[in-house]
Structure 1
Amino acid sequence: MSIYWLFEAQPENRQVYSGYFSGRCSRAMELLGYVEQDSSQLFHSTQFTLIWSDGYAPNTIHPELLNGAGEFQITNLTALAVMCYLNESMPQEKKGSPLTFSNGDGEQYALASYDDLQALVRNTLSQDQNDQLLGLCIKLGLTQPVEDLVGLQELASVIDDYF
């Protein structure tokens, strides 16, 4: 299944989003252990590339107009996590987020949190893929690691002893 994304900034907000994308993508690369290679590439990994381009090609954002579009497969875990990371703290406009996601039928998805990701991929990814997605999201700060269950069991035991 393909996920399509569209970014359309209002003209008065273009400067804000230009800095936002550059900084946020640079931080995502750092958090996921990738090395920045080219200033035209906002994000680059073997699985997903997002670039600045004044042409119209998939997964590009025009550096002056600050609009762009692209697609990725729902099984492309890096793209899924990075696009959620970008949207998670996206500065909002009066009409809402300028970054939207949909499927081929035009059904829109919210992708602004780990919970949104889980709702989208439910019954689509294998357990191994879910674990990989969780690992990426933890690295990006979209969710926290699952606490040590032994520690929780000990806490439950103390609570039971108290009552």
Structure 2
Amino acid sequence: MNENTSFILALKDVIDEDYNADMEAISLNDEHEFSDKHNKKMKKLIKRQSRPYFKLISTATRRAACIIVAMIVLSASALSVEAVRNAVYDFIIKIFSNHSVVTIESGTDDGYPTSIEEKYYISQLPAGFKQTQYGETDNSISVFYSNGKKGILFDQNVKGNHNIYGFVNIT
């Protein structure tokens, strides 16, 4: 006796007269009529899918996920390039109780200019701050801004003149 015969015999033992009566009452040849509520929902779905922007909306989450994954992959691969990695890892912000220090550190001292070629400045000061002091030499610039109670010190130095770091000091 194979497995199919055993299954059919077990099924015959389980089937009772009520089940047979229920099966005879079901007509597989009659068409099913859907309710008006169901028909309205189907029409609404079909109408929504026929709009020209449907594909963009229905795939928006997948597109967003692809963009996020691409950004992660690009970031990871960019950090594998030494020049990009050094630029990211050598830029450090240290926050102290009364000031913040922005540091750019590098392992080599070769190729740095000996004088300031481009002057940097704070483009947008907090409300109420004004420049109160300014000092400039060939290899450094120092600007102090104050609002009477607090001050911002901005120093720009060439690498040879200032070996530790350049910083923005907010006191």
Q: Which TM-score band applies after superposition, normalised by the shorter structure?
A: under 0.3
Q: TM-score, normalised by structure 2?
A: 0.23
Q: Greater CA radius of gyration, 1 or 2? A: 2
Q: TM-score, normalised by structure 1?
A: 0.24
